[in-house]
Structure 1
Amino acid sequence: MSIFKKFDHIGLVVSDLNKAMDALSHFFGFECRERLEIKGAGIRIAFYPLGTGQMELIEFQKPMEEVDSIVLEPRSGVQHVAFQVDNFDDTLQKLTGKGLKVVRGFPRQGAHGKVAFFYPTEGLDVMVEICEARDHKPD
């Protein structure tokens, strides 16, 4: 049985968030559910419903010194796949116990709760993110 509660989102890095949003709307009829600008981090994000999960568009505007550059590489394409977990801290401990390495600067507060990224590993060339379930009530 999987340790994940459910698929949450796929993160796509784009060079121009406005143009990407226009293209998704024009060509495919996607409607943005939420748009955020995290000024201190220099990140602009747009979320789109996608089946039972979401598609996250990410535009990086400036580097963040405290976070490993692997998270902030401004190349276009799939950056990460995210999964919701019921117990964030337990899952983080299980995954690190199995040898996965947490990206420098994580865990931290994300757009909707605690998040942690793991470095790609042999056989899995994309970052995996775990995120606190959106219905989680802080302690």
Structure 2
Amino acid sequence: MVTKIDHIGIAVKNLDETLKFYEDVMGIKCTSKEEVEEQKVRVAFLPVGDSEVELLESTTEDGPVAKFIEKRGEGVQHIAFKVDNIEEAIKDLQEKGVRLIDEKPRYGAGGARIAFLHPKSTSGVLIEISERD
């Protein structure tokens, strides 16, 4: 089902300031930025090998990333695993009794189709499954 780690999502208060660290200090270049209105985030993509770091800044005070930062502070918000067929992956997870946040795929950054697994089923880790063309 899972083919690789697609990306690691990191919640940040200020996307542009955080990018300076990753680009200037770590030497990882941002390849693109976008806003995902549905998820209330601005996103920056930083490829590392065949995976990515995804920096997430909330565009509203009540967005999921803002709520995460309010509760836990900045840091790793989720880990995304690439799957070949998200519908099959969701069905398989449901059959295995995994609690899902998304029972149907939704639009994610970078043109991906995504679904989140509930942290109560994953030892406290927010896991995203992601299908990209």
TM-score range, shorter chain: 0.7 to 0.9
1:12, 1:57 within 8 Å by CA — same for their partners in 2?
yes
Partner of 2:55: 57
Q: CA deviation at 1:27?
A: 1.1
The one-letter code matched in structure 1 to 2:114 is V
Any gaps of 5 or more consecutive residues in structure 2?
Answer: none
Partner of 1:83: 81
Larger helix proportion, structure 1 or 2?
Answer: 2
Q: Which range is displaced more, 3-12 or 113-122?
A: 113-122
Aligned residues: 128
The one-letter code matched in structure 1 to 2:28 is F
SS of corresponding position for 1:81:
strand
The one-letter code matched in structure 2 to 1:118 is L
The CA RMSD over aligned residues, in Å, is: 2.3
SS of corresponding position for 1:96:
helix
Answering whether residue 68 of structure 2 is matched by residue 73 of structure 1, we say yes
The one-letter code matched in structure 1 to 2:120 is T
The 2-side partners of 1:121 and 1:7 are apart by 20
TM-score by length of 1: 0.80
Partner of 1:99: 97
The 2-side partners of 1:8 and 1:70 are apart by 19
| Percent of matched pairs sharing the same residue | 34
Partner of 1:121: 120
The 2-side partners of 1:116 and 1:60 are apart by 19
Partner of 1:25: 23
Partner of 1:131: 130
2:45, 2:54 within 8 Å by CA — same for their partners in 1?
yes
Any gaps of 5 or more consecutive residues in structure 1?
Answer: none
